[in-house]
Structure 1
């Protein structure tokens, strides 16, 4: 029976059909995620145990802030370049893809310089020049902004070319591997601190950019084609699309990070560390949906442009089923046996403060996976403004709940706020998917 199942899986992965492409892409990106997961967890465990709740909380807060500042330069441009590259590749306009790469590089460098001057100036003014001072940590962490943005563009272009696996390799494998290696060396050398942990994060970003650049050049080498660099209308179109993507990713990222950011201002570093640990665990639940989203993004664009609603419905249904079947066996132990798992992995001090937040966030992520790729379906079909609407509604709910609950309940209140915002987001986007795309999201 097992042999028959394996044979059917192998047969399903052959050919150019929808199921075959999804299966091959999911297996490839899923394998990277399986490699990335222990690396990321190992780095988090190493830092959490070595720095303690207070030091790890300081590090987590600064990295969350850097992630927020990188929104227009990294994740927003990655989604934009993925969509535009997929469309240009389908149209056979290879030279415009190279123009897109150069356009993205210029805007990342300019935007990074602007943020570093403004935010860096404030940090420079407030810094105490201590290894555990958040402004000093932020000042160092700002140097990672151009690295994150340039690598995101390369990943987006490779994904648009249907090279999802190698496109995700630098971020999923190289970056956490380099972070883990550098942090381990610093720990063995006896000088691991919140400041050197941020330096290890930067080392990971540098390594990912180097590898991403090499992979893009090998996959999509430079040629002597004449580039339409003065195509003002094309540049204007990209700029107009960039803002909705930025707002969309900003709302999405803030929905995920607002708990840590508000805990950093309204509570203690220990509470920030608890939230970071709980979120790390809950992200295991949504791992399958993340893999599916990476794989189906370019396919959604192409199927929608072809006007094939039946195939789009199949794409949504199959991907949601795959994600939910993987998510449930991960979520249930985290919900019901979180304390011993946290004690074993992170230590007893984290089990005491992160067990209930972990269970709350895990439940929220199960609901998230059940709805399927609602955000990706709208965004890659050209309805990113609708996706933004859902994210904004969720963010407003999240912020109101967090500001109300954190002073009373601390990290538990932050977890409730995050899970509530996540559920609101899926409800709004699920309705918009049915309205705009005429399909029903989810596994049924």
Structure 2
């Protein structure tokens, strides 16, 4: 019996990881379905101009609030798990209080600074656009607090439950709110109404998430942390994580914000539809990353480079298998797909969708470079690569958007994806001695 025990434990661990990986895949798939449905509804009922205002208001406010969330969710998961491993439940509660206070304080600071400025320039905005911006300022802290609740749940080992607030509850509630609004016979959907419904959905999702966290909270310990313990350390630890998060957010929204600056809201709406549709190409990479990320960490910790290379190559080939057919579909029939799904008004985004689809294929072709670096403790290389990507993306958008419009923004995004993936691919080869692509090329010792 004792001889079979280690094997049984290993098999049980593999089965648990597989079940969690598949369950996470299902949750992300549900999120993708809800997000796609929301994009279609918003695009159809708001029209290109209204959808552009909605998108631009959210993008601008999210960029303003980058410091508010930063790396807090990752920090919350890590420090909660570490404190529980030391039976320091009191420290867990202090961490949660500090994170909540920090988030609310920064969100209020951003609002107090930006609202007077926005009020001073309100004459330059349409009333709908100004209202959308104000409501979005209220929305962002609700989203962030919901994300922190999910991170705390993952920190207490409720991994699947911790994904519900961000990936299931909020998009599902927003979808229900919009459908209910339309079912009531209202045909006056505007951008500010859409942002208001988004804010309502985020508030309800947060109200559901808090009791979930309360029920999953660890029992109180007798030990008490000395006053002032850890906040400075948490703040220092959060800085590189915040920088990494900021780089990702800036890369995601720079093109939208610049389009809104140089062109009209209708153009922003057209580009947003193309950008959202192109994410379908990269869904295979996201799904595979969820499954292989724990394996990367284990193989690296064991020093098993041969196994790490094998898993990396197989996963990269699976990613290409899932990515290539969708990219080819968009490459040949982009306009019919866009007009069928979103309406005739969005037919002008077909070329941008083709360009972005090629960019997503390039992103997938280099494999799981971000996860390989982050799961093996080389997140600084990720930050360097993303930082260069942010600068390149901003310069390319600045150069291409005034002349080429949404197609210029799409080219800027595709080139940026290629450049920073090459940089991270080189970092993986240098740091880990493996090749992240489907080719599995031999790396010189």
Q: Flag as ranges the 4+ runs of structure 1 deviating above 6 A.
A: none
> Which among 6, 12, 30 is matched to residue 15 of structure 1?
12
Pairing partner for 2:330 from 334, 354, 362: 334
Residues 227 and 290 from structure 1, CA distance in 2 versus in 1: closer, same or farther, beyond 3 angstroms?
farther
Aligned pairs (5 A) from 1:6-405: 15-17=12-14, 20-74=15-69, 76-88=71-83, 94-128=89-123, 132-187=127-182, 188-228=185-225, 230=227, 232=229, 234-294=230-290, 309=305, 312-313=308-309, 316-351=312-347, 353-405=348-400
| Contact kept? 2:300, 2:376, Cα under 8 Å | yes
CA–CA distance in 2 between the matches of 1:268 and 1:154?
A: 37
Q: Which has the larger radius of gyration?
A: 2
CA distance in 2, matches of 1:311, 1:105: 41
Residues 200 and 323 of structure 1: is their aligned pair in 2 closer, same or farther, counting only changes over 3 Å? farther
SS in 2 for 1:72: helix
How many residue pairs get matched?
A: 429
In structure 1, the gaps of 5 or more residues are 1-10
Cα distance in 1 for residues equivalent to 2:435 and 2:343: 43
Tell me: CA distance 1:34–1:408, structure 2 relative to 1, closer, same or farther (3 Å).
Answer: same
Whole-angstrom CA distance in 2 between matches of 1:199 and 1:118: 21
Normalising by the residue count of structure 1, what TM-score does the alignment of the two structures yield? 0.87
Residues 75 and 152 of structure 1 are in contact (CA less than 8 Å); yes or no, is this contact kept in structure 2?
Answer: no
SS at match of 1:228: coil
Shift of 1:265: 0.2
Q: C-alpha offsets along residues 113-144 of structure 1, whole Å, 9 cap, x if unaligned?
A: 11111112212322359875433321121012
Contact 1:61 1:261 in 2 (8 A): yes
Give deviations 1:139-161, integer Å, cap 9, x for gaps: 12101222122122222233345
Alpha-carbon distance in 1 for matches of 2:69, 2:327: 29
- The aligned counterpart of 2:5 is none
Does the C-alpha gap of structure 1 residues 422 and 357 become closer, same or farther in structure 2, counting only changes over 3 Å? same
Q: Which segment drifts farther, 57-66 or 323-332?
A: 323-332
The two structures, once aligned, show a CA RMSD in angstroms of 2.8
d(CA) in 1 for partners of 2:124, 2:176? 26
Give 1:339 shift: 1.2
> Which deviates further from its counterpart, 211-220 or 403-412?
211-220
Q: Deviations over 1:59-104 (max 9, x none)?
A: 1111111222332333521223234345555666555443332221
The SS at the match of 2:377 is: coil
- Supply the distance in 1 between the matched residues of 2:307 and 2:216 (Cα, whole angstroms): 29
Give the alignment's TM-score, normalised by structure 2: 0.87
Runs of 5+ unmatched residues, structure 2: 1-7, 441-445
